[in-house]
Amino acid sequence: MTTRIMRVGNTLTVEIPEEMVAQASLPIGEPVEWVSNGSGGIALVKSSGQSPAIAPARMTLEELLEGLEEGDSLGEYDWGSPRGAEVW
């Protein structure tokens, strides 16, 4: 089956026909990986594990803050000296 690489905004996409998605049992949102065969070809395969590029499952605020005690400080980050018209 032939398909095309298309540009959508700043991203290149590959159209995957619904028939192929159904045959591969790939629901929308399923983690997948591009794998090179070393001779100019690539394959799209189900992900073997959670990739850092894939967003984690949604968490509630309570889950995110679990384990922190009232008054705990998460520290500060030094963004450097002001640039432009920032007001400090």
Query: Could you read off the pLDDT of 13-48 as tens digits, one per residue?
Result: 888 888 888 888 888 888 888 888 888 888 888 887
For the chain, domain boundaries? 1-48
Residue type for position 27: P
The model's confidence at residue 61, banded by pLDDT at 50, 70 and 90, is confident
* Fold entry, domain 1-48: Pemi-like Protein 1; Chain: D (2.10.260)
DSSP string, 27-59: -TT--EEEEE-SSS-EEEEE-SS--TTSPPPP-
Contact between residue 82 and residue 88 where contact means Cβ atoms under 8 Å apart:
yes
User: Based on C-alpha coordinates, what's the Rg of the chain?
Assistant: 21
Q: pTM (2 decimals)?
A: 0.41
